[in-house]
Amino acid sequence: MYDIIVCAIDGSELSNKALKQALALAAKTGGKITAVTVTEPSVIVSPGAEMMMIDTSEIIANLDAAKAESAKTTLAEAEALASATGATIAKLHVANSTAADGILHAAKEIKADLIVMGSHGRRGLGRLLLGSQAAEVLSHSDLPVLIVK
């Protein structure tokens, strides 16, 4: 039924709850899980920027590196949570994308049968799933979506 399950994670308690649901479902259906975390593009907005010239490439590179490291940690935590149940998961980091677009892109690329995600997640640098992102995935997905709250 659900052979390939994408589970969107961001390290929050709610996304861990979603992962646990995905793991339970996969155990019953024999499905495989790919944990997906998404990081948004790094942008710098400065009032009056039209009046000055600053090379922001190093700042952007540092932001991207910090987000990649955070994603690596989030995926490692998901892998540990899965291992504790005796399961194995695939891991995927989608960089420079909105959460909804990254989740939908990942699901399409791996030919998923189901998307599992929390109804909302963290804010700030580590944010992935907001209520609006869950609604976006629901409205644009051709796949079934399991929203965990």
Query: pLDDT of 69-117, one tens digit each?
Result: 999 999 999 999 999 999 999 999 999 999 999 999 999 999 999 999 9
CA dihedral 93, 132, 60, 16 (to 10 degrees): -40
Task: Tell me the pTM.
Answer: 0.86
Domain 4-148, architecture per CATH:
3-Layer(aba) Sandwich (3.40)
Q: How many CB atoms lie within 10 A of CB 24?
A: 12
Identify which has the larger pLDDT, 131 or 112: 112
Confidence (pLDDT) at 59? 87
Q: How far apart are CA 63 and CA 41, in angstroms?
A: 9
